[in-house]
Structure 1
Amino acid sequence: MEPTIGDNIAAIRNETTTLTQEQLAEKAGVSVETIQALEQNKRTSARIATLNKIARALGVHTAGLMGSAARAQALREADAEPLGLVGIRQALAPVRDVTGHVVGPHQPVAEELHLGQVRGLVTDANRAYHANDYASAIGLTPPMLAAADALVARAGGSDAGQDALGVASYAYQLAGRLLIQLRQLDLAHIALDRATTYARTADDQLAAATATAHMCWLLLRTGRIVEVETLAARTADVVEPRLSTATPRDLAAWGVLLLKGAAAAARNAREDDARSMLTLAAAGAQQLGDRLVRPADHADRWFVDVGGNDFHHAGVQLMQVETAVIAGQPDQALALSAAVAGAPQVTPSSRQRHLLDVAWSYQETGRSVDATRVLMQLSDAAPEWLRQQRYAREIVQSIEDGHRRALSAKLAVLRSVLDGPA
């Protein structure tokens, strides 16, 4: 059996250091109860920021602590699949008989659906996703995927086939992003793998790059930190543009890969590498300016709608905040977050994730009232999204542990949102 996180901590502590559990806890800045619970396998997971502190105290990379239990914990989040996902599952993992024919319902597709109409389906589903309207996004996804597949099949190997493959790649990328958000990680892997296959078949390097960036997000959610760092760095090297002549799409695809690589490096206690990637990303974002906010070209406008809205100067700032959080520097995270407050380019889902970092930083600096205020703001604006976030549950638990009486009414409201039907 592969060792757990706690097994690895105990082995490293006993075999390569002279630290007691109490000394490790003090050096890492965590409670001795946390170390004991992990080493005794009473807890099989911990926040990446906590693991980061322990890894630094032991003098190893965070990935050295990871075991099968860490990945299992991430996957356990997907244990309650909403019935509404049946249609998506049928589209991504159909059942076939011995002759190869699909068994079960078929998603009807309009025979004459053309490229612009399929793009419209992807755009509609993307809007629902960013509006946190997951019920609508779930309903729109099966016909979107069926239409994209049918478009590719009809186009064949023609020039139009290249465009069809590109659109299909973005359709499956969106399905993957939605499924990650809904914690359906195995299904998300199928969708993103298919998105990458479509992009490669089309020889569309930029579509392949954005699909890879989403795959990096998925791998981060399952604890595969080292793979993300390698995958993001290699792909960024392949698509790296000349800053002076790069198109908005070139810059966006390259930049978002750097952000994913920085996220992985930060999680692996490699802050210098994370900062280097963020410096490169900042240069790309400066060159990009607002060309993806107000693109002149129709293809770029569509790219912004469905795949290119995650990279900009504010996106780099968001990752700088996240890196500070992972490094256990809440004061720095709060200072950096001030620059992001009014950035119009930030998508709702990215801003919501950022606000969880802000709430965590407030709680870590003893400002539980401010942390609760931010969480209440998220509860009012995006309850469906908040309900999917384990990070939010951990922050609320921390507040409850320290301020149960003073904040009981607001915490009760937050608990009702987090514990409501997914």
Structure 2
Amino acid sequence: MEPRIGDHLARIRRQAGMSQEALAERSGVSLSTIQQLEQHKRTSARLATLSALAAALSVDTTALMGNAAPAVDQREPDAMPIGLVGVRRALTPVYGLDGQPLDADPAGLPPTVAGVTTAVRDANRVYHGNDYAAALAGLPRLLGQARALVDTTSGDDQATAHTLASRAHQLAGRLLIQLRQVDLAHVALDGALRHARHSSDQLAGAESVAAMCWLLMRVGRFDDARALAVRTADQVEPKMSKATPADLAAWGFLLMKAAAAAVRDARRDEATELLDLAAGGAQVLGDRPNPYADVAGNDFSAEGVHLMRVESAVIAGQPARALALAERVTRSPQVTPSSRQRHRLDVAWSYVQTGQYADATGVLLDLRDTAPSWLRQQPYARTIVAELVDTRRRALSAELAELTSLVGYAP
């Protein structure tokens, strides 16, 4: 049997010459939680718990997890199969001996660069509007158009076609990550990287890498995500005196992904250094529009970096600091709706951890009203609702009962 999280925890703790009681005191994690993990009465823990234990033991979070990504309690919702057959077919087309895809439409008009550019932008707008059902329904056609454009163009137009195909696959990957279809998301993002390489568009490649880093973090591969983001950021780092908004956005977003992975892997000082570096780039970008905000989910900006500082404080188990940082957030059009919504969950979680339950409920109710489809897909929201339910000594209020139903939590 493959070692479980409790096996790794017990081995590393003993190597450090630390008792369970000493580890509990140093990490802030309860003694009972440590005992249950080491006795395999619990086989998973929240990321903040693992991060606290790793920091106390002076190891990376991945050292506690080993190869067992399920050690992170993601509280994943049920799979969402609706519409995935068409997406899978579009991502893995079948070609005949003549090199033509099985689903080719010989009578159809060939797509144009302008038409696919508009289609990619419109599809991203639907995605950022949290209409996942519509975005999923439109993916097969979008991917088919992008593939056909690559197949029917040449020269400079084909390089552009590959860039557009990369962005179409990026969108597919990001949507599939949201829907917890991680294996299919990996296929999509592999396609995004492949098309980016064919396009020789380094910045499109950087966008694809950033999405892949998000996927790696979702499956617990924090060190891989950090290393990939840092390596790619080094490859695309611009000269500040000549940097365009596109250069800055691609580079800075990778630094943000690297910081997110680092803090999850208990590398808190490194995460701070990466965010400080990103903040310098955001200052150079200033108020100039980020050209990737609509087509790559890239919200690199001064506010985007600050939101990541809030998230880092949450992961580090510092809810009071997270709330203090959140008070200094200034709204910017450069931040995507999903990033701002994710930030609101960080605020809700910090309210719960500091005993401000009514405020936490208020944040969730606001998200229920403004982004119900997005909220329904978030394991993080389910965890927050579970914590709120556990604090109740009386019957659930109508609002809290509605939230448990929306996020799929059964008390």
**Interval containing the TM-score (normalised by the shorter chain):** over 0.9
Question: What is the CA distance between 1:220 and its match in structure 2?
Answer: 0.3
Q: Are residues 1:189 and 2:189 paired?
A: no
Alignment of 1:334-373 (within 5 A): 334-373=323-362
Partner amino acid for 2:7?
A: D
Displacement of 1:97 in angstroms is 8.1
Mark the CA change 1:351 to 1:232 in structure 2 (over 3 Å): closer, same or farther. Answer: same
Matched, 1:118 2:120: no
8 Å CA contact 1:334, 1:361 repeated in 2:
yes
When residues 110 and 315 of structure 1 are mapped into structure 2, their CA distance, relative to the original with a 3 A threshold, is farther
Q: Secondary structure at the match of 2:86?
A: helix
For 2:8, the aligned partner's letter is: N
CA distance in 1 between counterparts of 2:96 and 2:38 reads 48
List aligned pairs for 1:25-104, cutoff 5 A.
Answer: 25-71=24-70, 77=76, 80-94=79-93
State the alpha-carbon separation in 1 of the partners of residues 107 and 379 from structure 2: 37
Q: What one-letter code is carried by the residue in structure 2 that aligns with 1:375? A: L
1:217 to 214, 217, 241: 214
Aligned mates of 2:324, 2:213 — CA distance in 1: 27
CA offsets per residue over residues 124-148 of structure 1, 9 Å max, x none? Answer: 1101100000111011111000000
Q: Secondary structure at the match of 1:339?
A: coil
Which of 202, 226, 239 does residue 242 from structure 1 map onto?
Answer: 239
**Aligned with 1:305: secondary structure?**
coil
- Stretches of structure 2 that go unaligned for 5 or more consecutive residues are none
Q: Which amino acid in 2 is paired with 1:27? A: R
2:152 counterpart residue number: 154
The residue aligned with 2:199 is 202
User: 3-state SS of the aligned residue for 1:340?
Assistant: coil
Give the secondary-structure state (helix, strand or coil) at the position aligned to 2:149: helix
For the residue of structure 1 that corresponds to 2:165, the secondary structure is: helix
Q: Tell me which amino acid in the other structure corresponds to 1:361.
A: S
Report the alpha carbon displacement of residue 4 of structure 1 after superposing the two structures with TM: 1.6
- Out of 363-372 and 43-52, give the one that drifted further: 43-52
Q: Deviations over 1:80-129 (max 9, x none)?
A: 232222211111134678998866x6689942320010011111110110
Q: Tell me which residue corresponds to 2:262.
A: 265
Q: Which runs of 5+ in 1 are unaligned?
A: 294-299
CA–CA distance in structure 1, aligned partners of residues 330 and 142 of structure 2? 34
Q: Which moved more, 1:195-204 or 1:336-345?
A: 336-345
1:253 correspondence with 2:250: yes
> C-alpha distance in 2, partners of 1:410/1:397?
14
Contact 2:28–2:52, Cα closer than 8 Å, also in 1: yes
* 2:377 paired residue among 364, 371, 388: 388
Q: Show CA shifts across 1:2-55 (max 9, x none).
A: 3121210111123332312x4322321122232223223233222211111111
Task: Write the distance in 2 (CA, Å) between the matches of 1:194 and 1:210.
Answer: 13
Distance 2:193 2:14 in 1: 44
Between the aligned partners of 2:98 and 2:13, the Cα distance in structure 1 is: 56
With over 3 angstroms needed to count, the CA separation of the structure-2 counterparts of 1:93 and 1:72, relative to structure 1, is farther
- Tell me what 1:324 maps to: 313
- Which of 115, 129, 143 lines up with 1:131 in the alignment? 129
1:287 has 2:276 as partner: no
Question: 2:297 and 2:217 mapped to 1: Cα distance?
Answer: 20
- Residue 45 of structure 1 contacts residue 70 of structure 1 at CA under 8 Å; is this kept in 2? no
1: CA distance between counterparts of 2:17 and 2:107? 63
Residues 286 and 53 of structure 1, relative CA distance in 2, 3 Å threshold: same
1:171 corresponds to 2:162: no
CA contact (8 A) 1:360 1:395 kept: yes
Identity of aligned residues (%): 57
How many Å apart are 1:308 and its aligned residue?
6.2
Q: Spell out, residue by residue over 1:230-285, the C-alpha distance to the aligned partner (whole angstroms, 9 max, x if none).
A: 10111000000011111111000000000000011111111111111111101111
Change in Cα spacing, 1:333 to 1:188, as seen in structure 2 (3 Å) is same
Name the aligned partner's letter for residue 26 of structure 2: K
Cα contact 1:44–1:69 (8 A) shared by 2:
no
